[in-house]
Structures are given as C-alpha cells and as structure tokens.
Amino acid sequence: MQRIRYSRYLKSIIVLLDLSVIASVFIFFFISRNEGLRHHEETWYQNSFSLALLFLFWMLLSGRTRIYNIPRNLTYTLFLERLFSHFVIFTIGILLIGKVSNNLFFNSDIYWLTLYLFFFIFFLRSIIFFIIKYLRSVGINHRNIMFLGENSSTDVLKDILKGRKDYGYKIFSYNSSNLSFNELIEFWKTNGIHTLFIPTDSALDKELEKRLFKLAEEHKVHVSLVPNISKSNFFYYDLGYIETQPVLNQAKYPLDYYSNFFLKRTFDIVFSTLVLVLICSWLFPIIAILIKRNSKGPVFFVQKRYGFHEEVFNCIKFRTMIVNDESTTKTTLDNDSRITKIGKFLRKTSLDEMPQFINVLKGEMSIVGPRPHMLAVDNYYKPKIGRYTLRSLASPGITGLAQVSGFRGDSGNVEVEMNKRILADAFYVRNWSFVLDLVIILKTIVLVVGGDKNAK
C-alpha cells in the first residue's frame, strides 16, 4: 500500500497564495495612490515587469530562509523565526529598491505597504499551519513509520512522536528479533511504510545493514539514523566537502562569531535595562511586601548555578518556598509542601524569575538561553548525557527554547524529560539566531499572560 504524497501540491498551493497576496496588496496600493495612472497602459506594462521582479526576489530569498521547506515536525516557534527573517530581508530589499529607483511601484507608501503585506501573509500562513497541524493530529495526512532496533535514543524519539500527534506520524511495531528481509519487504508494502528509523549503534552486522539500506532504497523507504543521545560527537562536527570528498569539520556555533555575540549582548543590556526601570522599579516592592507577609525569611533566594563555560554564579530569584535545608539538593515536585501561597502564584506567572534581569545586566545570564539548573542536577546528568555540557556554550537564559516547547518541570519519566530538555538546548546553541530569540521572548510573554501549566 503506497500512500499519496501531498507535500509538493501543498507547497505549490502555498507559493501561489503568497504570490497572489503580494500582487493584490501591491496593485491595490498602487491604484489607490495613483488615480491618474489607473488606465495608463505603458505604466501598467512597466509595473507588471516590476511585480515579476518582486516575485523573483521573493522566491530566490525563500531558498535562503526556507519558508517553503515545511517538514511535518516543524514547530510554530521555528515557523515564526523563518517567516520573520524572510520578511525582514524582503522589506529591506524593497526599501533599497525604492530608494535607488524612480519607479512609482516601489515608492507608493512603501512602509505601510510592507506592513500590510506582512500581516496578510502572517495570518494566512498561520491559519494554514494550524489547519495542517490539526488534520494531522486527527489522523489525516499521516506518515507511516517503523523502528528497527531500539535503545534509549529511539525511546525518546518515540515518546516525542507519540506526544506530538500534530506531527502526523503513525508508528508501526515490528518484531526484529528474527529479521527476515522477505517479511520486512511485505511489511513495508502492506503498511505503506514511509520512513525506517535505525539507531546508529544498531546490533545489525555490516553485511545485513548494507543489504537493508539497499532494499530500502529499492522500495522507496526512507532511512533515518537516530544518534545515541548519550554520546555527543555528532553535535561537535559539521559535514563539509573538499571538492566532492565529504569531511567532518569541528563545528563552529553561531554565538562563536563575535558579531552575533555582540548583537545578543547589546540586546540583553537594552532589554533588561528597560524591564528593570519600567517594570521592576514598582513591581519589586509589591512582591517583596507579599513575600514577607506570607512567610518568614529573605525576599530573594540566591543559589549558585553553572553559567557560560560552566563558571559558577549567584542566580537571583524571589523566594517561593519556606526556608528549608533541601533547596540546593531537592528539585521541585508536584504539590510541593515547601512552596508558599504567594510562591505558587509567582511560579505560575514566572514572576519569581524577574530578579534574574539583574543577572543579565551583570553579564552572568542572557534573556534567552538554556535555563540554569542546580549544581547538583548538572553534576548528576553530565556523566549520563554526553552533550550536556553543550549548554554551557551559551549564557544561561531567563527563558529558553526548552521552556516554550513545554519541557519545563519534572513530570512523568524524569530521565526522558531531561533528555528532551537537553536536546532542545543543544538545538538552540547550534541554531541560534536573533529572530529565534525574539520569537522565544514573544512565546514566553504569551505563556506568562496565559499561565504555564508546566510551571511548578
């Protein structure tokens, strides 16, 4: 049973919708601002050519920003990052064209025009994004997959795919204890298997593995390798080429470049200064009074945590628990009796983290980055998760990708949840961008206003 592939049709429809919106918005603005030229054939001919160039610029730029590369596991956070990045570059390009050109098409209220264009495409693409996610969550347009060989890495991946129904993966179980290639091929055909996941440290011998890959290629089954999450080598190298020969080069992460580091640090200073002056100046005294009235003890809770390159610093929070001797060794549990009444509110709204803007201003933390853990937690997981120390290659953040992705607090299997959190942190370090930081901040604000169900 071969399943119909809809991705190409879907991408074509989205591209046509985007280009239609661009054409409609630009033509509307041009007509409304140039009444006397409405029936001027030569002007229309010139601006039709300008519109064609605009389409070409949009499509060429999309190859760089990957707004039409829409994998089913794309999260809304990364979707927004790509869309924002695309529009920033696209708008700058239009503004430059308008400055150096006398073409009326590019000089007709260009600022309002690009703003309207952004909101039209933003809402249209967001609606399409969530419709597709919903259809996949109810079993429509799903992709049939299977695992051959299992370990802790595939367990984490399975848990993610089962929890995210909107990714649209349907997992088929297969008993690989007595591997028969004829039965495996029949299994692929019967269930319309699209992707076969195999752990990199599979128990298959080299000859069997070679034959398996060949059969998968013949039967149009995609093979995806799942790296061992207890090892970190695959995080430290990037695939490069010398002519046509592939080589593994030591990875250089975005924040290793001084220009990116400088941009992030400048934003941290400006943003934290504004928050401390405009919000914390009046909010801190109110919270301090409530904490002191609710329980005995200091207003602030200061705890040593690992920072950039594992340097230890004093992380500042509002105290949300009664004074106890387990605060540096025991993590917070559901319905923890140590949490005060005002503490529950502060944790639920994340207001307990507000003093960390002081840490940001001091350069010990960043607005966005991997959340700093207790020293005891870090020391426990470092030997267990090989890429754990990758988190220290970026300054710890008040908020982070893991937190806005729902990987916050200890719920269910703690080991699995921590693996998910560290994977998100490692992804952030390797794929940092300024726009991604802005998206994470926006999502954090939404969670704070709406209340984070994972906050404890």
**CATH code of the domain covering residue 198:** 3.40.50.2300
- Domain final residue, candidates 187, 208, 228: 228
In-domain check, residue 247: no
Q: Give every CB contact of residue 147 below 8 A, 6+ residues apart in sequence.
A: 154, 158, 171, 174, 196, 197, 198
In a domain, 455, yes or no: no
> Residue 1: what pLDDT?
45
- Please say if the pLDDT value at position 415 is more than 90: no
Query: Is 105 in the same domain as 48?
Result: yes
Residues 182 and 264 in one domain: no
Residue 70 identity = I
- Domain assignment present for residue 202? The answer is yes
Outline where DSSP puts E strands in 280-417.
300-306, 312-318, 366-368, 397-399
Structural domain of 201: 143-228
Q: What angle do CA 141, 145, 146 make, to 5 degrees?
A: 160
Band the pLDDT of 354: cuts 50, 70, 90.
very high
Asked whether residue 95 is domain-assigned, the answer is yes
Same domain, 178 and 87: no
Report the domain count for the chain. Answer: 3
Q: Are 151 and 95 found together in one domain?
A: no
Specify if 359 maps to a domain: yes
Q: Are 380 and 397 within one domain?
A: yes
Average pLDDT, the chain: 81
Do residues 170 and 306 both lie within one domain? no
Domain match, 330 and 378 both: yes
Please compute the mean of the pLDDT values over residues 295-323 and round it to a whole number: 88
Is the sign of the CA dihedral 137, 229, 256, 245 positive or negative? negative
pLDDT in tens, 141-169: 888 999 887 777 788 888 888 888 888 89
What phi and psi values does residue 411 have, to the nearest 5 degrees? Answer: -135, 135
For residue 246, tell me if it sits in a domain: no
pLDDT at 251: 75
199 and 304: one domain?
no
End-of-domain residue from the set 209, 228, 247: 228
Q: Is residue 456 part of a domain?
A: no
Q: What is the rounded CA–CA span in Å between residue 331 and residue 320?
A: 13
In a domain, 235, yes or no: no
Q: Which two tokens stand for residue 5?
A: 């592939």
Q: How far is CA 349 from the centre of its chain?
A: 22
Instruction: Report the largest interatomic distance among the alpha carbons of the chain, rounded to a whole angstrom.
Output: 82
- DSSP run (H or E) holding 43: helix 41-65
* Sign of the torsion angle spanned by Cα atoms 272, 275, 277, 280: negative
Residues 214 and 335 in one domain: no
